[in-house]
Chain A
Amino acid sequence: MARRTLRLIATLGVASAVMLVAAGPAWAAGETIGGCVLEQVHHAEEEYGSLGAVEADEKAFKAFEEDLEGCVEAPSPILPELDEIIWGGLAFLILFAFMWWKGFPAVKRAMDARSEKIRADLDAADTAKADAMRTKSEYEAQLAEAKTAAAAIIDEARGQADQLRQDLQARAEADIAEQRTRAAADIESSRRQAIDDLRTEVAAIAVGAAERVVGASLDADVHRSLIDGYIDEVAGAGSNGDGS
């Protein structure tokens, strides 16, 4: 901070010195237009005796005009007049002093405030960065936890799926075995039923054939013999003490 102030003071000093040095020639050559004209008039009177002689001599008159025109030439665009330098420098010094007194502290405060703000922003940025890093860490931790939980869930689901598959497979195998047993029982039942039906059908056919044979072979004598035998049998049952 002190170095910067010293540098500023030195710069101002150098600038003032340059201005004073540059203003030197102008101050040394400093003459008014009237003075210049009077000087040229005096010079012409000394050289030609009077101004009338100058007017009479065309060549001298022309030279006199050029000298006068030299007096009314425009001031230097670069080098100011001495009084301008003095007043300008004084004004500059006043302004500089005022600026040094009021402006520089304000600028300094503004710069300090700006620096403080930047520092605060940097601190806030650091804090935000830290928060972001902490949040990132927490997020990563949560992410890792979520991944762990997801992996656990997947493992559990896989285990349940395996268990379910095994259960379904066992149930399917049990069903298949039961169906096989039932089918075997049904087949056996059907086979027995078919055999029974066949046996019944064969018996019906055989008995039907026997009925037709017996019916055709029973004539009146056989009928009478069968009836008489029945009556004797009933009577015999009575004589043997056997009821109906």
Chain B
Amino acid sequence: MADQPASDRIGGYADAVLAVARAEGAQAEVEDELARFAEALRSSDELQSTLADSVIDVERRLQITEDLLAGQALPATAALVSLVVGAGRGGELVEIIDAAIDRAAAGRNRRVARVRSAVELSGEQRSRLTEAIKAASGLDVEIQAIVDPSVVGGVVTEIGDDVIDGSVRSRLQQMRSGLG
């Protein structure tokens, strides 16, 4: 069986994930849990490589995802992750989840704004940031808040390929560049 282009394959899996989430009637929760699981994968290269390693038995990789999500996510979320990993696409799981979330937002005529901060944003801050982004770019966005200690302080917002970086980390990087 010939492999499809990666973008087509990722889009296909994303559509499948969304279809299952809608069918289960818990799309918002599933999206949120998948987003957090994707963020956990981003923060752990070891976990990401383990799920992508074809040398490790599929049963073993499925057992790992089950251990991570059991009691922490909806059964539908765990089943979707297991679906992708069991299909041998664990290495593309993050991209599939991001594509699913982007497509879900697009279905609601919105863009996804991935907002990273060292501490969790409050509801009021999310609302204000949503309004501020709309005021700045004219886009209706859905905030996908990610807690990332590497940001140190402040916020980094990614909308597609656009980045609005107001983090302490970037200022420290600028200082390092100036010193180096």
Contacts and interface: CB of A to CB of B under 8 A. Distances in A.
B133 interface: yes
Binding site secondary structure of chain B: helix
Interface residues of A, number: 33
Interface residues of B, number: 33
Interface string A182-217: 000000000000001001101110110011001100
A226 B180 contact: no
Contacts of A243: 136-137
B176 to A, nearest CB: 4
B155 interface: yes
A234 B135 CA distance: 8
23 contacts: A199-B179, A203-B175, A203-B180, A204-B176, A206-B176, A207-B172, A207-B179, A214-B152, A214-B153, A215-B152, A220-B119, A222-B153, A227-B121, A229-B154, A229-B166, A231-B155, A234-B135, A234-B136, A235-B132, A235-B135, A237-B136, A239-B135, A242-B136
Given A223-B119, A244-B136, 8 more contacts: A202-B179, A203-B177, A214-B172, A218-B118, A226-B166, A227-B154, A231-B128, A239-B135
Interface of A: 196, 199-200, 202-204, 206-207, 210-211, 214-215, 218, 220, 222-224, 226-235, 237-239, 242-244
Interface of B: 117-119, 121, 125, 128-129, 131-137, 152-155, 157, 159, 162-164, 166, 168-169, 172-173, 175-177, 179-180
